[in-house]
Chains A and B, each alone.
Chain A
């Protein structure tokens, strides 16, 4: 098996290439001991099996964020048999910087100039053969979204594997010597001498020296342990005197190297650069925000239109199937409880999951489109000032707003964020953002108990959501997004592209399927537990395990102002928000067939009246406030588990929300007792 590492800047089309190469043979997990997502996949070419490692996107090889450390470490130690550098042909100069930063690493390499079609449209002429000759490594010009171009890719790949060509840093070193300021060049030479005796492994001496000059923390600590203390002191002195000038010296040289390569190999008859009319509005301080909302809502609505018939069909099938199941069980002579189990748990769980997948699908399509077309960066640009207060990138805006539609789906949408810390933090925030059903349940309860004062609860809710953002950023912010790693917004606004429908849809379908597999498991397990504990032979809830447990824990739950019926309803809310109403109907009215009400998300007919009769106002308040920050639903738990790849994080977030919702209930209940 051969290992290919994909190395490229963000927006270079790296993931398009990765998806097209590996299709469904992918595995996404975490890098060992790191909170960074690791994506690898497999494909076969001829007799050979290839492993493709999709390294986290990075603009260069200097390691600042956790993601960049992963990429950089993998590359510099030569863990891959071949490094495939992908650059955007439409932004050739900038994206070839990655190649220049790579030069000096002794791994075999091939270069892919992606998006040749866009470059052509922009009026760029690129002589691929000439670039290949100048760099002396296999170079391919192609378009990753065009599946017909792949035979050429494999042909270049084979060439690269046979040739084992590497890129040396000699030319860049020459440029530094020729063009750099004298003091800088002298310091560079001194550094080279001082580290001359250490082991360079897969890297050239100049590469190490220039990373030292750039004050790269990994190389600094490596050199510190490798050289004598006297040498290290000298090195430190040089670095201190250079300050940030060292990084500017080598940076400038790398760009010069790139433009020397491109001088004869690429020509531009580009029109003068101007902000397009659309971009003028899309990046406007005020209009840009409206445009972002508008585009988000429209795209979500359109993708929902595809999903809704599937959802409706699913619920339709559920009601058609149920009588059959009952009849079948009767004719087979099985207990009615088997039919109840199949209907409520197996079919009910399946229907709920498929329905929720509609949201996941819609959100993934929407975000895929926005990323693909390049619009996402514009929305991040206009919202960055808001989100940076929380420590988040402007990109988090879209997933956070989609949380209003569906928490579980939006959790999948956090994929647009670049670092895992940002993603985890966005998920923590998302659990506070109520989806439509949560709002409906909270307002329903508020109106049952407080009539026309219900809108007031809406206002308090909004204020509390911001309070919870604040609390979350205090508790998790600095751990997940260390302040010293935050750089104020310096962001690329990529050129607009046509969406690649085929690859987009394939990727979305694969992700929805992966989410579905995780979610259905979680939902079945949770429904089964609910079904089991609420089951009783005669249908009377007072004869179920639920009742026994509820009574046993009542002394504890009363601290939060919840008698056992309310607490069980609160737990039912973990299943889905509407389920908490279903549970209420069951536990307050002792209606028959308890679980079917829960799995259908139905409230009993006169739930409101019933509750008003038995539940006191402080209790009602406690329950309403607890519901606001209850776990969103099982699907959100399922997708959070799948997206974090970590049970620990799922449990942390779950525990956190139990704590704040019960804590809030506690406070509200005791204040209300005292006041009322």
Chain B
């Protein structure tokens, strides 16, 4: 499943990041490398999604979320 399908307060694991290397390096350096755990703080179905991982609150556009494959942890 992709990140935007996760519900609020669900915990997940990053599985794979698709896209060009710019995007991958951005996501990794922001704190969401593969196999890291995260918590979905907010997903209202329209605004960008808020997740928490590696001590950091990160906002990600919904379109970009579809490139991030996750699994529920």
Q: Hey, which bits of chain A sit against chain B, CB under 8 A? A: 59-60, 62, 64, 90-94, 97, 101, 214-216, 244, 247-248, 251-252, 254-255, 273-275, 280, 283-285, 381-382, 384-385, 485, 487-495
In the bound assembly, the distance between CA atoms of A64 and B30 in angstroms comes to 14
Q: Which chain A residues lie closer than 8 Å to B23 at the CB level?
A: 487
- B27 and A255: CB pair below 8 A? no
Q: Which chain A residues lie closer than 8 Å to B55 at the CB level?
A: 90-94
- B34 and A489: CB pair below 8 A? no
Q: Which chain B residues lie closer than 8 Å to A493 at the CB level?
A: 50, 57-59
A255 and B36 contact, Cβ closer than 8 Å, known pairs A489-B48, A492-B58 = yes
In the bound assembly, the distance between CA atoms of A348 and B61 in angstroms comes to 50
In the bound assembly, the distance between CA atoms of A251 and B26 in angstroms comes to 11
Q: Which chain B residues lie closer than 8 Å to A247 at the CB level?
A: 21, 24-25, 28
With both beta carbons as reference points, the residue of chain B lying nearest to A248 in the complex is identified as B34
- B46 and A488: CB pair below 8 A? no
A250 to chain B, nearest CB (A): 9
- B54 and A489: CB pair below 8 A? no
Cβ of B41 within 8 Å of any chain A Cβ, yes or no, is yes
**B39 CB contact (under 8 Å) in A93, A255, A273, A487:** A273
In the bound assembly, the distance between CA atoms of A489 and B58 in angstroms comes to 10
**A60 CB contact (under 8 Å) in B25, B56, B64:** B25
- A489 and B29: CB pair below 8 A? no
Closest 10 CB pairs of A and B: A60-B29, A251-B28, A215-B21, A59-B29, A94-B31, A94-B54, A91-B55, A488-B61, A62-B25, A93-B54
In the bound assembly, the distance between CA atoms of A212 and B71 in angstroms comes to 29
- B34 and A490: CB pair below 8 A? no
A252 and B47 contact, Cβ closer than 8 Å, known pairs A489-B60, A492-B30 = no
- Is chain B's binding surface mostly helix, strand, loop or mixed? mixed
Cβ of B70 within 8 Å of any chain A Cβ, yes or no, is no
Sample of 18 more A-B contacts, CB < 8 Å, known A215-B21, A244-B20, A285-B47: A59-B26, A91-B56, A93-B55, A248-B33, A251-B25, A252-B33, A252-B35, A255-B33, A255-B54, A275-B42, A283-B47, A381-B47, A485-B22, A490-B58, A490-B60, A492-B30, A492-B31, A494-B57
In the bound assembly, the distance between CA atoms of A101 and B31 in angstroms comes to 13
Q: Give the size of the chain B interface in residues (CB under 8 angstroms).
A: 40
A-B pairs with beta carbons under 8 Å apart, 23 shown:
A60-B25, A60-B28, A64-B22, A64-B25, A90-B55, A91-B55, A94-B30, A244-B17, A244-B24, A248-B33, A251-B25, A254-B33, A274-B41, A280-B42, A283-B47, A283-B59, A285-B46, A381-B59, A487-B64, A491-B58, A491-B59, A492-B56, A493-B58
In the bound assembly, the distance between CA atoms of A489 and B60 in angstroms comes to 6
In the bound assembly, the distance between CA atoms of A489 and B42 in angstroms comes to 15
Q: Which chain B residues lie closer than 8 Å to A92 at the CB level?
A: 55
Q: Which chain B residues lie closer than 8 Å to A384 at the CB level?
A: 48, 61
- A251 and B33: CB pair below 8 A? yes
B6 to chain A, nearest CB (A): 15
Q: Which chain B residues lie closer than 8 Å to A244 at the CB level?
A: 17-21, 24
A489 and B64 contact, Cβ closer than 8 Å, known pairs A93-B55, A274-B41, A384-B48 = yes
Q: Which chain A residues lie closer than 8 Å to B54 at the CB level?
A: 91, 93-94, 97, 255
Q: Which chain B residues lie closer than 8 Å to A283 at the CB level?
A: 42, 47, 50, 59
Cβ of B44 within 8 Å of any chain A Cβ, yes or no, is yes
A395 to chain B, nearest CB (A): 12
In the bound assembly, the distance between CA atoms of A587 and B50 in angstroms comes to 60
With both beta carbons as reference points, the residue of chain A lying nearest to B48 in the complex is identified as A489
A52 to chain B, nearest CB (A): 24
- B33 and A275: CB pair below 8 A? no
A414 to chain B, nearest CB (A): 21
B5 to chain A, nearest CB (A): 18
B46 to chain A, nearest CB (A): 6
B65 to chain A, nearest CB (A): 9
With both beta carbons as reference points, the residue of chain A lying nearest to B20 in the complex is identified as A244
Which of A93, A215, A284, A488 counts the most chain B CB atoms within 10 A? Answer: A488
A490 to chain B, nearest CB (A): 5
- B29 and A97: CB pair below 8 A? yes
With both beta carbons as reference points, the residue of chain A lying nearest to B68 in the complex is identified as A490
B42 to chain A, nearest CB (A): 6
**B52 CB contact (under 8 Å) in A60, A255, A273, A491:** A273
- B52 and A490: CB pair below 8 A? no
In the bound assembly, the distance between CA atoms of A634 and B21 in angstroms comes to 44
